[in-house]
Structure 1
């Protein structure tokens, strides 16, 4: 099924709303690049702030052009609800539905050394196993050098010791969404052999 705009899933879990704020900034970047941002969450036993967005449907993985994955940090790892979702995607993995699609990651923590980079790396693992093209934030992005918040070449992040993203965090998340959408749009028009 071909759509007129690039469809980018922003799949995340957020209990307190911090990761959701990053997802919103990423969605702005996707939209600015001419794409359609599909904000999605996962089923959870917890009452999550991400409940405002639809729960991802399995066939959306097949239809999307790219996927960004976000989670709060849980001891340097993704939230269990997201882990449970990825553990249920074996059939999608066997079919190769995400192969050669751009992917990226984002996270939030409540403390400065709360495990942002290890969480970003753990979020990247299922994307790599699914054959996605992992996309980061290049150092040419000025906001990565900001001293007022999170963000690294591994992905966008938010130090949620305040209620809103800093300017650097907002710009990094926006840039990541825009970059993933631009790459996904280029991939839609390219032939990549496995």
Structure 2
């Protein structure tokens, strides 16, 4: 049976919401999906002081389980135009998998959030994609057949490199319907590709 992992890191809940939408897209194609997160590196007292969303229900992923999936969709917010330390730390532990080539040929896709429209969405997506390419994964982007990313009537996320959302400088903007539709579209696309390669 084809299985897909949505692997994410979320400080304030925006990426968690996008991860759930991504999983909805996968399920819409009848494919099994699990949503898991990488471990938090910030001490709990500091995370609470800075209002991190600490009540996330997704279980913690391990690098050892990655080979069990046919596709891995990775999401994380930007940190100065690149992936955050929590996600980098997780992928830094996959050297053994890389040495064995265990992820070669699997489907990969990415998603992110930024505070502003020009806050590094595409560079963050590329910093996530780089890890997947080094593992020999096949990258699925968000094609322009998802018309939502060409909208000009509202502030919106979306890039040919992956699904995105904009959180606002204070984190008050939640993923829009269009942002979530982009995540569902990409999740469904990854599921269809994984089925074709199964």
Match of 1:49 among 38, 42, 53: 53
Q: Where do 4+ consecutive residues of structure 1 move more than 3 Å?
A: 47-51
The alignment's TM-score, normalised by the length of structure 2, stands at 0.88
Structure 1 residue matching 2:192: 3-state secondary structure: helix
Matching of residue 29 in structure 1 with residue 25 in structure 2: yes
* Equivalent in the alignment of 1:157: 164
* Equivalent in the alignment of 2:184: 174
What is the alpha-carbon root mean square deviation over aligned residues?
A: 1.4
Show CA shifts across 1:6-46 (max 9, x none). Answer: 21111110010011111111010000011122111111223
Segments of structure 1 that go 5 or more residues without pairing to the other structure are: 189-194
Segments of structure 2 that go 5 or more residues without pairing to the other structure are: none
* Number of residue-to-residue matches in the alignment: 184
Distance in structure 1 (CA, Å) of the matches to 2:16 and 2:106: 23
Show CA shifts across 1:63-93 (max 9, x none). Answer: 1010011111100000101101111100001
Distance in structure 1 (CA, Å) of the matches to 2:124 and 2:63: 24
Distance in structure 1 (CA, Å) of the matches to 2:81 and 2:133: 18
Match of 1:134 among 135, 139, 142: 139
Distance in structure 2 (CA, Å) of the matches to 1:24 and 1:8: 13
For structure 1, which segment, 119-128 or 106-115, has the greater mean C-alpha deviation from structure 2 after superposition? 106-115
Show CA shifts across 1:139-181 (max 9, x none). Answer: 1211121233100100000011344322221111100000001
